[in-house]
A and B are shown apart, each in its own frame.
Chain A
Amino acid sequence: MNTVTESKLKRPGSLEKNPRLSQWLSVHRDGTVSIFTGKVEIGQGILTALAQIAAEELGLAPERIRMVAADTALSPDEGVTSGSLSIQDSGAALRRACAHARALLLERAAARLNASIRDLRVEDGAVQAAGHSTSFWECAGDALFDREIDETAAARPPHDYRVVGKAAPRLDLPDKIAGRPRYLQDMALPGMLFGRVIRPRYGFSKLVSLDDGKVKSMPGLVAIVREGSFVGVLAEREETAIAAQNALRKASDWDAVPPLPQDIHAWLKSHASDHRVISEKTNLEAKSRAASTLEASYTKPYVSHASIGPSCAIAHFQGEKLIVWSQSQGIFNLRRDLALALGMREDKVAVRHAEGAGCYGHNGADDVALDAALLARRAGGRPVQVQWMRDDEFAWAPCGPAMALTLRAALDPQGNVVDWQHELWSNGHSGRPGRSDSPALVAAWHLARPFERPASINMPLPAGAADRNAIPLYDFPSQRITNHYVREMPVRTSALRSLGAYANVFAIESFMDELAAAAHVDPIAFRLRHLEDPRARAVIEAVARLAKWEEWTLAEGRGHGIGFAKYKNLGAYCAVVAEVEVEHEVRVKRLVVAVDVGLVVNPNGVVNQIEGGAIQSTSWTLKEQVKLDERGITSLGWEDYPILKFSEVPAVEVELIDRPELPAVGAGEAAQGPTAAAIANAVAHALGLRVRELPLTSERVIAAIERQ
């Protein structure tokens, strides 16, 4: 990284790109404050946490804060809501912006009251001095915020916090729990038509023929739209659009696709296009002490996002302007790719965020926006809502990439790691819009003049992507970490919660247990002897204490295990202890989690994210794999892609280690890798043998027992 970039990074959060105060907030006469953020609510509770930060710095009751949904016409461009970065990016920027805004408001109030700032008594926006009063609402306006943000304006010291650090109820939940319309799926615009898209059953093939005779005459059908191999329908009623979609699926014929590899992990290992050593340390003296070596290979399958609500979008052409309502994680990037695909100028396209079902990464949200826009172009100025069906989502949303990993290590006679090697093979973990010359949107690849399908890429370290968390946090004297990037994509892949960290941490932490066993050392003691970072040690020690690790009693078919990581090696520290029972299948009974996210903004929100992440990771780890045959994805419904059920969910206990003096980092992805590793280690502990292929299904467990 060069020095110019480094000096830029010193500007907090998203201020670099959005330096004007008016980009972040406006104070209204009615005693409310609008807060603008480019980050979006995807079920993680970010708007509530950002509202807390704004209320804190402005010194206002949280009820006065109005979080404005991100909109390309109004909001600061903060890129993508991903990577557990929203608290760092948007939170840090809002903290500075609101601190500066408060200073300006107090300055103006002091002038009005003819008093000095330190003589003002300020309470929830009301300002008094010497028997006279004014307020923030009276002092705002007249372009007061039309200036660059002064980063040196004094922000409130953490020990004075009244709102940040306290559990705050989510702002969006009252509507959602009452069943009031709130989601994008619930929007009903006047004259709105319903659209559905017909895609090939398997893969990126071309339309050969379409027999639309019967469908054309369906009552209520408005149009069948065909542009090259893109086929969609528009109808007055939603069920008509679905019936037309089903009929046209049966009446369409598509090219065959090249057969998919059936052993995807062997295929990945033989198709790498780029080999990069991302970390190398050599200590010959240490290596010379090697007394034994171990090697193990691990795999992770393709994993689906599997949100309960499939992706949805609304598009509306108003004259030559296009307005799109989307649940995208990156509305500015989506606008760019929509303009590219539609041949429009970017300033003629506006994208407004609307909340959807839970989002855990790059799902179909962006793709369906182009579907809706292409159909809206033929809708005679009427708005069009497109809702993907369940099988559309399973078949066409990008999957979390399959990965293969091989680890080798050498131990000295005392059981210390003296050499460590980690190799990984994976497709790219980002195929998001806004990053390529060609739109990263499915429909664009099916048009009459199709755009090229961009290969998914990996973002660079330190955050990384396929190689996220591949560099161990442990202090090994010698190490070599190699990322084998596979460009060719048999299955479309992109970002899924924690990217490569899930598989890398699963492999590293599994292997640490295998080494600990070889060294005849307790797994926790083995980790601590290789770990200096005090915050890392603290979460491991905390989780051991909470789980009563030392007091474990052996019993047939029961085991416990630990997993640990510092997310991205930059963010939250998280350690998990899993307790399992294994007969024919694995039952996770209890997860104990200790986490350090620095300053905790909303404790309830952090616990909710960690608990949810741990349960989702349990589901991935025990059950989930996208099923493929030679033609494509065959797991297109919940019967073929089961996820964890209520009766299978373990008890989860979370302890937060609050560090108010340290910067707040995100919590959304910290638990994914450590939970997987803890479960795998607990299974190995229970069985006395190890399953190295995810997911840890009963077939895998039985096969491992039979192999022994």
Chain B
Amino acid sequence: MGERFRLTVNGTATEVEASGDTPLLYALRNDLALKGTRFGCGSGQCGACFVLIDGHPTPACDTPLWSVAGKKIVTVEGLGPKGELHPLQRAFLDEQAAQCAFCTSGILVSAAALLERNHKPTESEIRAALDRNLCRCGSHNRMVRAVLRASGQAS
């Protein structure tokens, strides 16, 4: 306990005081009040806690704090330009692509990483990119449509 870690979260340099093996998830949620990153399973199998670490979708629930010091972390709150929604978030609202929406943050993070490397993904590329994210309510197809819409391929 009591170590200080310097993190760059959503473009802002910040410091967290906690034990080095604290999962990043709890530092984000409880120290930095970024509640958009969600606890789902604690073992990186559901995707609800995905954040971008140096651009890669990574489960925050089993990423220890010591391993992300100095790296660039982007959470769902930081996907869009400051104070604005990311085009994906607007598309999710346009498509009403959620029911409970608990999985949505992690899916937006995976989808944002996809669109960074592939501006016009096909439907099957989108599904493959989201396969590490679970959704229980059955909003998958709406989310796929939303990603298509956000990439300028509105159905």
Chain A residues with CB under 8 Å of chain B are: 42-45, 169-170, 172-174, 176-181, 183, 185-186, 188, 219-220, 237-239, 242, 306-310, 356-360, 387, 389-390, 604, 608-609, 611-616, 619, 637-639, 643-647, 649, 651-652
Contact = CB atoms under 8 A, between A and B. Distances in A.
A198 B138 CA distance: 32
Contacts of A310: 39-40
18 contacts: A169-B96, A179-B105, A185-B35, A185-B38, A185-B39, A242-B42, A307-B100, A309-B48, A356-B100, A357-B100, A390-B42, A637-B43, A639-B45, A644-B140, A645-B131, A646-B131, A647-B124, A649-B141
B141 A611 contact: yes
Interface in B1-57: 1, 18-19, 22-23, 26, 29-30, 33-43, 45-46, 48
B22 A239 contact: yes
Chain B interface SS verdict (over half)? loop
Nearest to B78: A179
A358 B99 contact: yes
Contacts of B138: 611-616, 619, 649
Nearest to B130: A646
B43 A390 contact: yes
Contacts of B140: 615, 644, 646, 649
Interface of B: 1, 18-19, 22-23, 26, 29-30, 33-43, 45-46, 48, 75-77, 85, 89, 92-93, 96, 98-105, 108, 124, 126-128, 130-131, 133-142, 144
Contacts of B124: 647
Given A608-B142, A611-B141, A43 B18 contact: no
Nearest 3 interchain pairs by C-beta: A179-B36, A43-B100, A615-B138
A358 B136 contact: yes
B141 A177 contact: no
A637 B30 contact: no
A637 B45 contact: yes
Contacts of A390: 40-43
A651 B102 CA distance: 22
Contact of B35 (A169, A179, A643, A651): A179
Contact of A43 (B37, B130, B131, B137): B137
Given A173-B98, A179-B77, A308 B127 contact: no
A179 B142 contact: no
A593 B133 CA distance: 26
Given A308-B135, A612-B138, A180 B36 contact: yes
Contacts of A356: 100, 102
Given A308-B48, A608-B99, A615-B140, 5 more contacts: A169-B93, A178-B89, A238-B26, A308-B102, A637-B45
A609 B76 CA distance: 25
Contact of B75 (A42, A173, A179, A647): A179
Contacts of B104: 176-177
A357 B77 contact: no
Contacts of A173: 92-93, 96, 98, 101
B14 to A, nearest CB: 17
A359 B102 CA distance: 11
Q: Which of A178, A356, A637 has the most CB of B within 10 A?
A: A178
A305 to B, nearest CB: 8
A239 B127 contact: no
A308 B134 contact: yes
A608 B98 CA distance: 8
Contact of A638 (B89, B134, B137): B134
A627 B144 CA distance: 31
Contacts of B136: 306-308, 357-358, 360, 616, 643
B131 A608 contact: no
A309 B139 contact: no
Nearest to B76: A179
Contacts of B101: 43, 172-173, 176-177
Nearest to A186: B35
Nearest to A605: B96
A157 B141 CA distance: 35
Q: Which of B42, B93, B102, B133 has the most CB of A within 10 A?
A: B102
Given A307-B136, A616-B137, A239 B85 contact: no
Contacts of A646: 126-128, 130-131, 133, 135, 140, 144
A611 B144 CA distance: 14
Q: Which of A177, A356, A613 has the most CB of B within 10 A?
A: A177
Contacts of A614: 138
Contacts of A220: 1
A359 B29 CA distance: 23
A177 B135 contact: no
A189 B139 CA distance: 32
A389 B103 CA distance: 16
A652 B48 CA distance: 24
Nearest to B90: A177
